Structure formats: structure tokens, C-alpha cells
Amino acid sequence: MKKKQGSPFPLGATLYNDGCNFAIHSPDKIISLIIFTNDNDSYEYSLNTDDQIIYYLFIPNIKSATKYGYKITNDNGNNRLLLDPYAHKLSKPLEYHYPLDAEQSWTLSKSVVVDHAFDWEDDTPPNHPIEKTILFELHAKGFTQQHPTIAPSYQGNYLGLCQPDIIDFFKQQSITSIQLLPIISFVTEPHLIENNLTNFWGYNSVCFMAPHPNYAKNDAVKELKLMVKELHRHDIEVILDVVFNHTAEGDDNGPCFHLKALDHDYYLRNEHDQCMNYTGCGNTLDLTHQASLTLVLDSLRHWVKEYHIDGFRFDLATTLGRDHENFSAHNAFFMAVAQDPILQKVKLIAEPWDIGPNGYQLGNYPDNWHECNDKFRDITKNYWLQQPNIAKNFATRLMGSRDLFSASRWPQKLPVNFISYHDGFTLQDLVSYNEKHNEANGENNRDGHSDNRSNNHGIEGETNNTAILLLRDQQKRNLMVSLLFSFGIPHLLAVDSLSHSQQGNNNAYCQDTPIGWANWKLSKIDTAFQQWLTDIISIRQQLMPDVIRAFSNENRTKNTITWSDANGIQITSQQWVDIDHFSLHINLFNNHGELLYLINGTNNPLTFILPKDNKWNIVCDTSTQNIIIEDINVSYLQPAHSMSILYRSN
């Protein structure tokens, strides 16, 4: 590279031994580079351009930690400072007051030049096989904010997640992968600030390559790398929830941080030149535009290369595959990821919908993309908490939703099954509330879904009624066993292992409060549930990977599946219409083992006749907190509202 003139590539601020190259995509505005020597003093540089699309300059003697930005002059003559869309770091948390005028832009956080040199030692990706993967979704701040044994200086930040007690907790739970809610730099919307609230979840991205500075003690770049390295050392993957469907610039009346000023075509627009709102957040990034596609791909590679990130969960991923109203699994974004030598190696998880036309695309993503399966969530909650006579649909979800995810494409395309996610009720609240209680969000309880498919079991919210508490606990076990022993990738909400309640709030997006922070003070029944969940996840990891592999190879059709009623008689298609219980017998090819599921969603105990001539081990019975280890061979009395998993090794 001719460093004296600089280079248009790579975009962003690239540090060398003798200086830094700056490059930015800006076909709509002539811009200049501002280098800040301190908070008050700065130097302005004119930039080179070969095509009036990319502007660039090499400046000697620039060091790491140098603050910079780009100046544009508006039509009215006002000078505005822009963040670099490729900024690798922000100088401080980004906060602003609406409207964000040109004068205020100079007081905000600045882009920062970064030296990415870091001693990764012998770090290698854990690279857990997909059939062994268990996802543990958590908030980088909220999970450790109230942890009783973590030093206050580590609570609620990146380094808190790699403290010994937290790592021990992950390992006890047999978790392979933590999935972090957004840690890419984001901003809180003005209407929340006015109500003394915060964008807690972080789905409001600003600079796609910069870690959120609020979760660092001192240096977000270094501390995030330290966190990943330490988790990898303990064989735990780190998956990022990323938001590439929109940015924090909002609709046409929203703030201008960078993209709006630099290139009109970054965002999808309608025939009246207004931002399309397929995301519910005011704008929609247009990945058919080369600059947008390049920004997203460069950002993904950046997280893998510089932070050793193991995979991504894509928020509203349908937007990434859009050409306006059309979605295609063969579009440029998916093809680019599939051929990329860095990105093709990581785990890819799609939230397979957005709110635009043709937005629901569950099952339609390409191979090596695993999709969040809301059908599993809804049907499983319905069966246990609402309508047990939907057993046919529940059975379909247990067997991997093969109506949507063909077993011929396993394991490279397994559904991500879940019961609770960051949005919606926690597991505890699913069995404790009939209605949402979002008053703390300041929207008069209008926000959040009303379709919760929950059941308070007689009393709304907290209670001391022992019978109700025991039934709620049993229903939690039903939901978790259904999840862990279904065909797919189990996704658990981390706070569910603590029986955390959000007090009935099913949309805690703005609750940087105890509502959104993990509660580590467990009652006796909560402690028992945590131990039970630890044990049952461990058992799942011993059994289910082999079963999933057996259905994921050329011999999969040689395995046998039998659906029967309690009397051991195979269920006919007519009986499936309104049956409320069933057994599932899975017999693996070549005597590689058998599983038997006994599922009773009724109000009465049922005696299940077991397959003849077989001696079975009871893996678990959800009617009890105890893990039962005993042999049975003729019949089994399954209590009401419960299920059992039995195993036989041949």
C-alpha cells in the first residue's frame, strides 16, 4: 500500500506501525476527516478520492486511542460530525437529546483508532457439534449485576461473565454456548430517557464493529477479548445476537449518526422516498445495496477475526434476505456468507421473520442456518398449559418439526427449539401469570404480546399456596424436558435456571432494573429446580446427541418410530385428532439404543403399557424433583400433567 497517499481499502481506520489509513464510503457528501488531540482541540484533513464514492487518507504518526470523526456541511451551512460506520471503538457511551442537531453532534462519543494486538495464547474455537450444542441466552450486564460472590467492579460487565463462579455455573449446567443479547454499540431512544428508562436489550445498533462501552470497566475492546478467551479456555462458545436489519437512525425524522448523511441508498425506501419500516424500528437496511452488504459482511468477519466469536444469532433475519417484498434463501447475503472462508465456519442462527410483507419465513433458510422455532414454543406451551388435546401438533414438534425442517437436512439444518426467550414471559412467569403486567415500561401495559399461552394455575403472580407452587414447578419440568428431549438445538433463557420472575413483564426491553437482572437469591423450591435442571441437562447430553446423529445419516430411515396410546396400541390418524396423551418409542438402527416417552397431559393418572420384552431405565419423571434410577418392564403409572423419559441400551 502507498501509505503516503493512502488507500480506499480497507474501509475504516486501519493502524500501521507508522500511522493510520482512514477510508469511508460517502457518495452523497463531500466530507473531511477530523482528528481530535483532546476534547477541545482538533485538526481537519481533506480526503483523497478516485471516484467520489470512497474518500481516504493516510496520516503518519497516528497512534492507538486517537479520537476521530468525519465532518459534513449541511445545505444550511451547519457543520455536523459523523461517527465512522466502521469504527472499532467508541470513546464513551453514546447519549443524545432529541433532536440531534449539528451543534450537539460535536459533543457526542467519538470514533477511536484501535490497535487489535492481543495475546490470544493458544485460543481455539470450541466448535461443539451442532447436535451437542445447548444455547444459554443471557444479558451481558443483567446476568451478573446482582451476583452475590462477584466483586462489585466486575458485576454487570464483560469480565463478570468470565469470573470463576460464573464459569463454574455454566459448566455445572452443561452449557456449550452462551448467546449474548446485543453487545454491539447501541443507543437509548429519547422517549425512554424522558421516562428515566434505558434501552436494556440493545436492539438499536449504531456502529456495527464497536463493542458497547457501557459493559466495560475501562477498555471494551480488551475486556471483551479477555472474556472470550477465558470462556474458550473452559470450552464455552460465545454467540452474539446481532442487529443488521436496521440502525439507531430510525425513520426519516430520526437522528443522523452516519449512514443517513453518507449514502441515501443504505436504507430501503418506498416510492415516496421514505424509509421502509419492515423492522418496526423506523428503517430497514438494504442488503441489495453493495455498500450495505459490504458493511454487514465486513462487520461479521471483524467479530470472528478480532474477537474469536463462535457464531451469530441474527435479529429479524428475514430483512437480510429481502429484495423489498421478496425473500430468497439464494440472495446475495446468504450466498456471500456460504462462500466466505471465515463465516462459513461459525454457527448461524436466524430469527426467521420480520414485520414486512412475506416476513414469516420459518423453515425457508439455506442449509447451515438454524432457525428459531416459534412453532415449538407455542405448541409446547399450548399442550402443557392450555389444550392437551393438541397432542398431534406437540408430537410433530418433539420430532424436530419435520413438516418444516426435513430430517434429510439434519444436522446442518436443525431447528432451534425454545420455550422462553428474552422477549416474552420467563419460564417462571409462564406458570405464574395469565396476563402481562408491563406497567413499569411506561406504556400503560399496551406493549408486549397478549398471546402468552401461559397459566397461573389458580392465582395470578406470587403465592404461598403449596399445592399451586408444586404444580407450577412440575409444569416447569414438563416444559424443560419437552425442550431438552426434542429433536433440535435447545435454547434456554439463562435466568430460567434461577426461576427468575420479571413480575409478569413480558417485554422487559427497557428494564435495566431488578426486573431485568438475574435474581440469584433462590428459595428452597428454586434451588431444587436448579439442581434438577442441572441433572436433566447432563442426562440429555449423554443421550440425545447420539439419537440426533442416528437420524442425521444415511441409515436414518432404518430407525423406527412408534406412536401409541396408554394401552400400547398404535395411534391411528383419526385418533390423533383429539387425543390428549401418547407414548413415543424410538428404536435406533443396529441395536444402538431405545428411548420411550410417556406423555400424559390429562387431569388423571394413566397406566402406560410398555413395549414387550424390554427392560427400561427411567431417565426422569417430571412429577417429581428427584431423578429416578430404577428398572421397569411391564407398565408404568404416569401421574397427571407429567411425562417420563425411559431408556434402554441394547
For the chain, 650 residues long, the average pLDDT of each consecutive 10-residue run is 76 97 97 90 96 97 98 92 98 95 96 98 96 98 98 98 98 97 96 94 98 97 98 98 98 96 97 95 97 98 98 98 95 98 97 97 97 98 94 97 94 96 98 98 95 97 97 98 98 98 98 98 97 97 95 89 97 94 95 93 96 88 86 92 93
Q: What is the rounded end-to-end Cα distance, in angstroms, of the chain?
A: 65
In a domain, 175, yes or no: yes
Active-site residue (options: 189, 237, 315, 526): 315
Residue 68: give its domain's CATH number.
Answer: 2.60.40.10
The single residue of 263, 351, 371, 594 carrying the catalytic annotation is: 351
**How far, in Å, CA of 464 to CA of 137, rounded?**
30
Do residues 289 and 172 share a domain? Answer: yes
Q: Which domain holds residue 602?
A: 557-648
Using alpha carbons only, how large is the chain's radius of gyration in Å?
26
Distance CA 140, CA 201 (A): 10
Judgement on whether residues 221 and 324 belong to the same structural domain of the protein: yes
C-alpha grid cell, residue 509: 426491553
Task: Quote the pLDDT of residue 2.
Answer: 44
Q: Considering the domain boundaries, does residue 510 fall inside one?
A: no
Note the pLDDT of residue 553: 80
| Ramachandran bin of 641, using left for φ above 0, alpha for ψ from -120 to 50, beta for the remaining angles | left
Indicate if 155 and 70 belong to the same structural domain.
no
Q: What is the DSSP string of 538-600?
A: HHHHHHHHHHHHHTSSTTGGGSEEEEE-TTSPBPPTTGGGT--EEEEEEE-GGG--EEEEEEE
Handedness of CA 148, 151, 154, 160 (dihedral sign): negative
Distance of CA 288 to the CA centre of its chain: 24
- Decide if 465 is inside a domain: no
| Domain endpoint, select from 84, 112, 140 | 112
Residues 103 and 149 in one domain: no
Chain position carrying cell 409446547 = 380
Q: Tell whether 255 is covered by a domain.
A: no
Q: Report the distance separating Cα 416 and Cα 269, nearest Å.
A: 32
Instruction: Clarify whether residues 284 and 391 are in a common domain.
Output: yes
β-bridge partners, 178: 136, 238
Position 444 in a domain: no
Q: Of 268, 452, 250, which is closest to residue 356 (Cα–Cα)?
A: 268
Number of domains in the chain: 3
Domain shared by 176 and 321, yes or no: yes
Q: In angstroms, what CA-CA distances link 621 with 99, 149, 463, 607, 626?
A: 58, 34, 25, 14, 8
My answer on whether 96 and 228 are in the same domain is no
How much is the pLDDT for 627? 79
In this structure, the answer to whether residues 358 and 304 fall within a common structural domain is yes
pTM for this entry = 0.97
Q: What is the DSSP letter of 27?
A: S
Identify whether residues 373 and 324 lie together within a single domain.
Answer: yes
CB-CB contact of 310 with 126 (8 Å): yes
3-state secondary structure of 378: helix
351 labelled catalytic: yes
With H, G, I as helix, E, B as strand and everything else as coil, classify residue 517: coil
Residues 351 and 223 in one domain: yes
Say which CATH number the domain at 145 has. 3.20.20.80
d(CA 447, CA 311): 31
**Residue 463 lies inside a defined structural domain of this protein:** no
Residue 34 in domain: yes
Q: Do both 108 and 165 map to the same domain?
A: no
225 and 290 belong to one structural domain: yes
CATH for 572:
2.60.40.1180
In a domain, 574, yes or no: yes
